[in-house]
Chain A
Amino acid sequence: MRKQKALLFEMGRAGRCGYSLPSNDVPEKSLSELLPKNVQREEQLELPELSEVEVIRHFTELSTRNFGVDTGFYPLGSCTMKYNPKVNEEVAALPGFTHMHPCQPEHTVQGALELYYNMEQHLKEVTGMDRFTMQPAAGAHGELTGLMVIQAYHRHRGDHQRNKVLVPVTAHGTNPATVTMAGYEVVQIPADERGNVDLEALKEAVDETTSALMLTNPSTLGLFEEEILDIAKVVHEAGGLLYYDGANLNAIMGYVRPGDMGFDVVHLNLHKTFSTPHGGGGPGTGPVGVKERLIPFLPKPLVDKKDDQFYFDYDLPNSIGKVQSFYGNFGVVVKAYNYVCMMGADGLKQASTDAVLNSNYLATLLQDNYYIPYDRIRKHEFVVSAKPEKKKGASAADIAKALLDRGFHPPTVYFPLIVDEALMTEPNDTESKETLDAYARAMEEIARAIDEDAEKVAAGPYYTVVGRLDEVRAVRNPILRWQKE
């Protein structure tokens, strides 16, 4: 029997509380003495009134209605849902990391600056770039920062007509949205029949208005851009720069580096490749790395070292400025740094090896029952097209819901857009062969269930805490907060 869960606002009683504070020990003044009447709150604050145990039971129950990497296999494409090592959480919770104020004098935060400094050296080595900023708080924030840096570079050279950014059709949705945020126009580049960027179309598209090409390599199809060197040449010869969306870096660590492929700017997602948890939607961190000629434009401050002392370098007259109040999501960087320390060079390369091996293996198993376009060696992910199943009456979304009933988190659905009924599947390095075998069996079972009774599959899921949720209703009749009847 399914049961809906009460909201915080439907629980508790007036007069209950879930906190304990010391009493005020300074001489108390009347409120009117400290605050003029006209700035004081008019209505009583409406918040729930609950005891601590009620709050804990409420959120604990909510947590049981949520699926995380610790719950099970999570092959959400391009999200790299690898295991989040527990020790990372433990070290990041040290008060020497969590309780520093961002305005403390530099000599009182030497450990934090050293960590930032070391992490920058490691990321430079992994990517082949020359400098990094840790300031962007997420991948999309890194994209925006990267484009701002590119924009500042062109403007600094007096090159003001570059108002377009090229984005392949296989790019993440954030790429075109970022282009608009940065005040640019998007030019979409199609893919060729092998799933690569269409080189001829790219040659047609570049000109003196091209600011940059944003590329994810391997792409969201999980395919390595085989003509990357030609792509780089075409863009660079037109005076444009090459931007690397690092969402898929987990496929290539130790094998090839964006910096060696001709990329001028990269962003990484520490919450993907570098194992930090995604927190149900964040926080992440999106460090941005650049080649030498773009360093002057990075956000300030950068972290540097002089005579064994670490310091913030604000002396960057051409810097774009700041993209976050302080220095980025430090707490997330601590976790990623611990991961790199534990993995080392061989561990990171093995992670990429196993991610790619798992992906090719799972694709091979699924090919018995499903159509996977672009039949070639893949990197860390692959895209199943449920077009044939859709014809039988069960869509990609329906297959996803059927996976929920079998205890798996589904792949990313309906993305990338160039594959009909897409199921973008990324089994990463931290999954065992048995898990992949079990997933393939579940997918086979679903294929059979569709053949037998597609309508029944399309009506799922059956075993989740709620049934299929009505998204159309949520839009037509928006209820975006609880209100008193």
Chain B
Amino acid sequence: MGGKHYLPLTDEDRREMLKKIGVNSIEDLFSDIPEEVRLTKDLDLPPAMSELEAVKHLNSLAAKNRHLNNCTSFMGAGVYDHFIPSLIKHVIGRSEFYTSYTPYQAEISQGILQAIFEYQTMICQLTGMEVANASMYDGSTAVAEGAIMGCGATRRSKALVSLSVSPFYRAVLQNYFNSRGLELEEIPLKDGYTDFSKLEEMLDDKVASVVLQQPNFFGLIEDLDGVADTIHNHKALLVVSTDPLSLPLLKAPADYGADIVVGEGQGMGIPPSFGGPLLGIMATRQKYVRQLPGRISGQTIDSEGNRGFVMTMQTREQHIRREKATSNICTNEALVALAAAVYMAAMGPQGMREVAGQCLQKAAYAREKITAVDGFEAAFSGPSFKEFAVKVPGKPEELNQKLLQKDILGGVDISPFYPELENTMLFAVTEKRTREEIDTLVRELEGWK
């Protein structure tokens, strides 16, 4: 039988236990299942594997994949190849952390509760916000929940989202809004940026949330000075999706008037994992804390006056408020938030700034070199952070195929999301890329077509 080593009961145990219960057989324990629906056959699954065989099988599957450790990656679009310090896996590999559940019993969960409190603090330090939750599933669901939170806080039912917000996020946002019967309108683009003159026209007293992204999907830095005032004049809220690794250099969202900050935290010590698990970041101002979804760790004292931590403000949550909760989220991405906390603690202000600075410098170098190649044109002008869009002279798919032969994962083809941007690719350059790797990419581009 499979999995014997995980099932400690012996046949002798089972006999004794049945006797104690007062039934004759195992079947008696399942007699409450109506006979008509009982399964009369064995489940048709492959024969059970031993640990050795399973490891071999999983290794063979993993070996069929190319990955960022055997390729040089210029892929981004929300998930990036950043450096992951070794200590992270040792911390999240502590099984007291990873084998625990949501910390319902605070007195034996001080480890995760304090770590989440520290994570919340550091997210606030990065964003300038006053309160952060313990995480959302990913950037896309954080965006959707942020927009919905704006509806709750303003008691309105409409959101505006810029087309410069990731299409991956907008898809989820659209779906959440469709289902709930909320209205969503798209703010058009102007040369790769949000068209803020259109935003002014679109704002009315029905709009609850305006969703922007900084840096935007094309890697460009939006000029957000004064935008929050325009939005606040209509009593709507500014929801900003951001890349936390850009924040050591870029203005904190609080400083340009954001009300809700969301984003994808994968860059902070979390592997890309084929797109999951990721880390949804969510933070806001103190005055909106009652509309914030998700778990929050708060400080308190114990019976002897010692500092301790508990899950708090739970009257927002599903297990207490049921249908009146701010969200249905229950399980989140706590262990991933822990990884991000370890990352921020180890990097510190200096390391975070160093990472952001190298991304900025290396991406600028690559952008200059790539767009100097014949036929490769910058899709947009203006400052960018760690990625940039390029119009290429041919099919992106064919270019990536050629690059792969040199063990390079090229840019992400964004034409499917923006039909007006034909043959356009997004190249991401993180601190991990070297000048030599960038130069190699450029040489390959020169030899194409």
Q: Is the CB of B78 within 8 A of A465?
A: no
Q: Between A and B, how many residue pairs show CB distances below 8 Å?
A: 717
Tell which of A17, A174, A475 touches B351, judged by Cβ atoms closer than 8 Å: A17
Q: Is the CB of B33 within 8 A of A44?
A: no
List B221-276 residues whose CB lies under 8 Å from chain A.
221, 223-225, 247-252, 255, 264, 271-276
Shortest 10 CB-CB contacts between residues of A and residues of B:
A326-B275, A344-B48, A96-B62, A279-B335, A281-B334, A66-B111, A347-B2, A111-B64, A102-B275, A68-B99
List A1-53 residues whose CB lies under 8 Å from chain B.
2-5, 7-9, 16-22, 24-29, 31, 34-36, 38-50, 52
0/1 string, B6-37, CB within 8 A of A gives 1: 11110001101110111100101111111011
Tell which of B13, B44, B274 touches A433, judged by Cβ atoms closer than 8 Å: B13
Size of chain B's interface in residues, with CB distance under 8 A? 212
Binds B, one of A86-94, A199-207, A443-451: A86-94
Q: Is the CB of B46 within 8 A of A341?
A: yes
Question: Is B197 interfacial (CB 8 A cutoff)?
Answer: no
Residues of A contacting B31 with CB < 8 Å? 377
- From known contacts A63-B96, A224-B32, A344-B2, infer whether A278 and B39 are also in contact, taking CB-CB under 8 Å: no
Q: Is the CB of A55 within 8 A of B342?
A: yes
Tell which of A22, A56, A269, A432 touches B87, judged by Cβ atoms closer than 8 Å: A56
Q: Is the CB of B8 within 8 A of A430?
A: yes
CA distance A459 to B96 in the complex (A): 26
Question: Is A109 interfacial (CB 8 A cutoff)?
Answer: yes
Residues of B contacting A125 with CB < 8 Å? 43-45
In the complex, what's the smallest C-beta–C-beta distance from B39 to chain A, in angstroms? 6
Q: Is the CB of B66 within 8 A of A325?
A: no
CA distance A27 to B364 in the complex (A): 10
15 A-B Cβ contacts within 8 A?
A: A19-B354, A55-B345, A59-B91, A100-B66, A104-B75, A126-B45, A143-B328, A173-B330, A229-B34, A325-B276, A343-B6, A432-B9, A466-B107, A467-B302, A481-B124
Residue among B111, B139, B141, B334 with the highest chain A CB neighbour number at 10 A? B111
Question: Is B434 interfacial (CB 8 A cutoff)?
Answer: yes
Residues of B contacting A115 with CB < 8 Å? 61
Question: Is B321 interfacial (CB 8 A cutoff)?
Answer: yes
Q: Is the CB of B347 within 8 A of A19?
A: yes
Q: Is the CB of A137 within 8 A of B14?
A: no
Tell which of B20, B58, B115, B364 touches A29, judged by Cβ atoms closer than 8 Å: B364
Q: Specify the chain B residue showing the minimal Cβ separation from A477.
A: B300
Q: Specify the chain A residue showing the minimal Cβ separation from B292.
A: A480
Tell which of A327, A360, A429 touches B274, judged by Cβ atoms closer than 8 Å: A327
In the complex, what's the smallest C-beta–C-beta distance from A171 to chain B, in angstroms? 9
Residues of A contacting B180 with CB < 8 Å? 181-183
In the complex, what's the smallest C-beta–C-beta distance from B346 to chain A, in angstroms? 4
Q: Is the CB of B17 within 8 A of A433?
A: yes
Question: Is B67 interfacial (CB 8 A cutoff)?
Answer: yes
Q: Is the CB of B102 within 8 A of A278?
A: yes
0/1 string, B55-86, CB within 8 A of A gives 1: 10111111111111110010101110101010
Question: Is A431 interfacial (CB 8 A cutoff)?
Answer: yes
Q: Is the CB of A356 within 8 A of B29?
A: yes
CA distance A256 to B251 in the complex (A): 57
Question: Is A147 interfacial (CB 8 A cutoff)?
Answer: yes
In the complex, what's the smallest C-beta–C-beta distance from B108 to chain A, in angstroms? 4
Binds A, one of B183-191, B198-206, B310-318, B370-378: B310-318
Residues of A contacting B310 with CB < 8 Å? 469, 471, 474
Binds B, one of A235-243, A288-296, A404-412: A404-412
In the complex, what's the smallest C-beta–C-beta distance from A321 to chain B, in angstroms? 4
Extra pairs beyond A18-B348, A28-B361, A62-B115 (16, CB < 8 Å) = A9-B118, A17-B351, A24-B357, A39-B221, A41-B251, A48-B348, A50-B345, A67-B105, A67-B108, A101-B272, A112-B65, A325-B138, A326-B276, A345-B45, A480-B298, A481-B124
Tell which of A97, A179, A349, A469 touches B323, judged by Cβ atoms closer than 8 Å: A179
- From known contacts A17-B350, A114-B64, A345-B45, infer whether A60 and B401 are also in contact, taking CB-CB under 8 Å: no
Residues of B contacting A409 with CB < 8 Å? 105, 108
Residues of A contacting B447 with CB < 8 Å? none
Q: Is the CB of A99 within 8 A of B132?
A: no
Question: Is B114 interfacial (CB 8 A cutoff)?
Answer: yes
Tell which of B81, B175, B335, B349 touches A323, judged by Cβ atoms closer than 8 Å: B175
CA distance A338 to B94 in the complex (A): 21
In the complex, what's the smallest C-beta–C-beta distance from B235 to chain A, in angstroms? 24
Tell which of A5, A40, A330, A351 touches B249, judged by Cβ atoms closer than 8 Å: A40
Q: Specify the chain B residue showing the minimal Cβ separation from A279.
A: B335
Question: Is B158 interfacial (CB 8 A cutoff)?
Answer: no
Residues of A contacting B412 with CB < 8 Å? 103
Q: Is the CB of A282 within 8 A of B91?
A: no
Question: Is A178 interfacial (CB 8 A cutoff)?
Answer: yes
CA distance A471 to B62 in the complex (A): 46
In the complex, what's the smallest C-beta–C-beta distance from A311 to chain B, in angstroms? 14
In the complex, what's the smallest C-beta–C-beta distance from B334 to chain A, in angstroms? 3
Question: Is A306 interfacial (CB 8 A cutoff)?
Answer: no
Q: Is the CB of A364 within 8 A of B87?
A: no
Q: Specify the chain A residue showing the minimal Cβ separation from B346.
A: A18
Q: Specify the chain A residue showing the minimal Cβ separation from B100.
A: A68
- From known contacts A94-B58, A260-B37, infer whether A67 and B3 are also in contact, taking CB-CB under 8 Å: no
In the complex, what's the smallest C-beta–C-beta distance from A5 to chain B, in angstroms? 6
Q: Is the CB of A364 within 8 A of B111?
A: no
CA distance A464 to B303 in the complex (A): 12
Residues of B contacting A182 with CB < 8 Å? 179-180
Q: Is the CB of B9 within 8 A of A341?
A: no
Q: Is the CB of B114 within 8 A of A62?
A: yes
Q: Is the CB of B323 within 8 A of A177?
A: yes
Q: Is the CB of A25 within 8 A of B435?
A: yes
Q: Is the CB of A345 within 8 A of B43?
A: yes
Q: Specify the chain B residue showing the minimal Cβ separation from A66.
A: B111
Question: Is B319 interfacial (CB 8 A cutoff)?
Answer: yes
